[in-house]
């Protein structure tokens, strides 16, 4: 039934790529998901959020072949590059720009490694060791 969900989101204004799947999208007219992208069960992708008593509104652009882990939240004014991963239970805050081919996780989400498991510059040896895939 994933195709039906994408069809409904498209009718509500979301720009859903071929094979894109999302569990919950608020403000579909502000959301763009590329081909093959998936927002896992319990995740929320939203074009609005109340932050310190102020309403923040912005588009969310999710590239191609992106995986957003289950129960994660993506706030407005976010861009996630092609082939990137957002770990489960993560919070991607407003204004975040995730480059292509990276893995991000946490609250707030931060860079962990490249998609092929290589450490990212600027992280300590201990942080990189803790995120090892081996």
Nearest-angstrom CA–CA distance, 56 and 73: 15
Q: Please, are residues 96 and 111 in contact by the beta-carbon 8 Å criterion? A: no
Report residue 3: phi and psi, to 5°.
Answer: -60, -35
Q: Please, are residues 38 and 56 in contact by the beta-carbon 8 Å criterion? A: no
28 is catalytic: no
Block residue for tokens 């990189």: 128
Catalytic residue (one of 32, 36, 42, 48): 48
Residue 42: CB atoms within 10 A of its CB come to 14
Instruction: Identify the CA nearest to 68 among candidates 50, 81, 49.
Output: 81
Please list the active-site residues.
48
């Amino acid at each position: 039934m994933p195709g039906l969900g994408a069809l409904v989101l498209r009718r509500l204004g979301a720009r859903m790529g071929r094979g894109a799947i999302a569990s919950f999208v608020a403000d579909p007219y502000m959301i763009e998901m590329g081909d093959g992208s998936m927002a896992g069960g319990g995740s929320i992708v939203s074009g609005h959020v109340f932050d310190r008593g102020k309403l923040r509104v912005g588009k969310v652009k999710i590239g191609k072949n992106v995986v957003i882990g289950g129960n994660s939240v993506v706030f407005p004014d976010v861009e996630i590059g092609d082939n990137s991963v957002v770990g489960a239970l993560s919070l991607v805050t407003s204004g975040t720009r995730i480059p292509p081919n990276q893995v991000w996780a946490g609250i707030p989400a931060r860079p962990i490694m490249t998609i092929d498991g290589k450490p990212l510059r600027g992280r300590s040896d201990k942080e990189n060791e803790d995120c090892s895939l081996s």
